[in-house]
Amino acid sequence: MSVWNFRRARYGIFIAMSGLLAVVVLVACGNSAADKTASFVKIRTAPADYAIEDLKIFGLKANKQYDVDGLPDGLDAWRGFWGLDPYERHDYEIRFYASHALAVSSGQQLAIDATGAEFTAKRDEQVWTEGVKDRWQARGVTDVSSGGSRQAPGPTYQDWAIVGNMVILCDGLDSEQAIIRCASLIANFLPDEGA
């Protein structure tokens, strides 16, 4: 075998091994996120009924209170942001009800209609119209200032969760990312509950 052929063979093995390593890393990372979203419980009870003050205590920054006229059985609703890293916080909309049962019976379908593809399809047909503008990100294709930037307009909140008397809408580029963000918020608010 000539030196040239030996080098080509070594280079080919290097390229093949690099490709294999890249596939293994992608599969491992993909499974991690998939595992988190697959085990996430979207509807769960909580040890108490909560209000916005309870979330502010652990760091949620509530920046907009919504008028709940027209929100069936709703007591209060807020838009806010939270994150463990103060430079990487995410948007949440949190709706409060008198009980867990009301959050589920009156809030679940509204949460579905206000997130992801359902919101895209039903944007002009919302039962509760307060805050509809906040649920739509109208960023253009040139907004690439952060990892969470969208490449086209679309729903702010891609998925939701119900914890006790709270309905939580979570932002993200897709449902998987939103579920991870919901899980993080819940795990830090109710660490014994696990997400």
Mean pLDDT, rounded, for 122-144? 79
Mean pLDDT, rounded, for 148-156? 72
Mean pLDDT, rounded, for 53-64? 95
Mean pLDDT, rounded, for 85-111? 96
How far is residue 131 from each of residues 42, 75, 163, 174, 185, measured CA to CA in Å?
A: 22, 15, 21, 20, 21
Mean pLDDT, rounded, for 59-76? 96
How far is residue 5 from each of residues 1, 16, 39, 96, measured CA to CA in Å?
A: 6, 16, 51, 70
Q: How many CA atoms lie within 13 A of 185 on its CB side?
A: 34
pLDDT of residue 57: 93
pLDDT of residue 137: 84
Neighbours of 190 (CB within 10 A): 18
Residue 163 has pLDDT above 90, yes or no: yes
Residue 117 has pLDDT above 50, yes or no: yes
At 19, the pLDDT band (50, 70, 90 cuts) reads very low
Ordered by start, the domain boundaries in the chain are 1-39, 42-189
Question: Which 3 state secondary structure label does DSSP give 7?
Answer: helix
Distance CA 178, CA 182 (A): 6
Question: Which 3 state secondary structure label does DSSP give 27?
Answer: helix
Contact 71, 96 (CB under 8 A): no
Residue 94 has pLDDT above 70, yes or no: yes
- Nearest 5°: CA angle at 109, between 38 and 122? 105
Mean pLDDT, rounded, for 135-158? 68
Q: Shortest CA distance to 91 belongs to which of 157, 177, 42, 139?
A: 157
At 129, the pLDDT band (50, 70, 90 cuts) reads very high
At 26, the pLDDT band (50, 70, 90 cuts) reads very low
Distance CA 117, CA 124 (A): 13
pLDDT of residue 185: 95
Average pLDDT along the chain: 82
Distance CA 98, CA 90 (A): 26
Q: Show the tokens assigned to 17.
A: 């091994």
Which distant-in-sequence residues (6+ apart) come within 8 Å of 60 by Cβ?
52, 80, 81, 82, 92, 94, 185
pLDDT of residue 151: 59
Distance CA 100, CA 142 (A): 42
Residue 6 has pLDDT above 80, yes or no: no
Contact 195, 65 (CB under 8 A): no
pLDDT of residue 56: 95
